[in-house]
Structure 1
Amino acid sequence: MVICIDEVSEIPIYKQIRNQIVLGISDGKLQPGEQLPTVRALAEEIGINSMTVNKAYALLKQEGYIVTDRRNGARIRNEFDQGKYLSQTSLDNLQQIISEANIRGFSKEEFFQLCEKYF
């Protein structure tokens, strides 16, 4: 698994890790049941503090994307709750994106076309 950290980004590193894992699940690069690197291994691979990776994994677990246990470590959840809701983090991000699009002059139709492209 390759995680790329943007050290000049305003997005905290733990959220960058979280976002890249969610994207990997969404686009099929990470499969249900797939083992994730240990906290220590991922921290060493990226060159960051292990507490940062631990915080990302804790958030992913809280949001229901991964399961963890002491024996098997962290894995992508086998099944996801199909309830149609988004995490508060995602709702906050969506509000930010919509605000930026509005400021930049996107019409609702243009914004929805852009959403359609990425959905």
Structure 2
Amino acid sequence: MFVELDLQSDVPIYTQLVDQIVEGIANGGLKPGDPLPSVRSLAADLDINLHTVNKAYQQLKQEGFLQIHRKQGVIVQPGEMPGVTAEFETRMTRQLKALAAESAVRGLNAEQFSAYAERIYRQVSTTDNGRNQP
């Protein structure tokens, strides 16, 4: 599993880790049932605190992307991935609203913003993941 962290970023390290694991699932780099490194192993590989990795794994478990077993370790959800929830829609709306506002202030029009969003969506979503994609 390839993870690239920006230790100088304002985005917390655990959030970067969560985002990259979800992206790995979306683009097919991580498939249902795939094992992930242990908390200790990934923390050592990335030279970060093991509590940071644990926090990311726990968040992904809570959201339904990972399963954590005592004997099997951490694996990508072998069943169906989580669907769209009200919480997800709220978070997505908040994040898109902020990006849309900044884009407008910087002079991007709605069509350009939509084109960027669609291109990025297609870049990270190269597999079906059990769902029909638009």
Shorter-chain TM-score above 0.5? yes
Change (3 A) 1:31 1:62: same
Q: What does residue 11 of structure 1 align with? A: 11
Gaps of 5+ in 1: none
Q: CA deviation at 1:31?
A: 0.7
Q: How many residues align?
A: 119
How much identity, in percent, do the aligned residues show? 38
Q: What does residue 72 of structure 1 align with? A: 72
Instruction: Summarize deviations over 1:1-58 as a string: whole Å, max 9, x none.
Output: 1211101100000001001101111111111110000000000000011000000001
**1: CA distance between counterparts of 2:98 and 2:115?**
18
Moved more, 28-37 or 94-103: 94-103
Change (3 A) 1:67 1:92: farther
Letter in 1 for 2:53: V
Is the CA contact (8 Å cut-off) linking 1:63 and 1:87 kept in structure 2? no
Q: Which has the higher contact order (CA 8 A, sep 6+)?
A: 2
**2: CA distance between counterparts of 1:84 and 1:14?**
22
Q: Give the alignment's Cα RMSD to 1 decimal.
A: 1.8
Q: What does residue 108 of structure 2 align with? A: 106
TM-score by length of 2: 0.80
Gaps of 5+ in 2: 122-134
TM-score by length of 1: 0.89
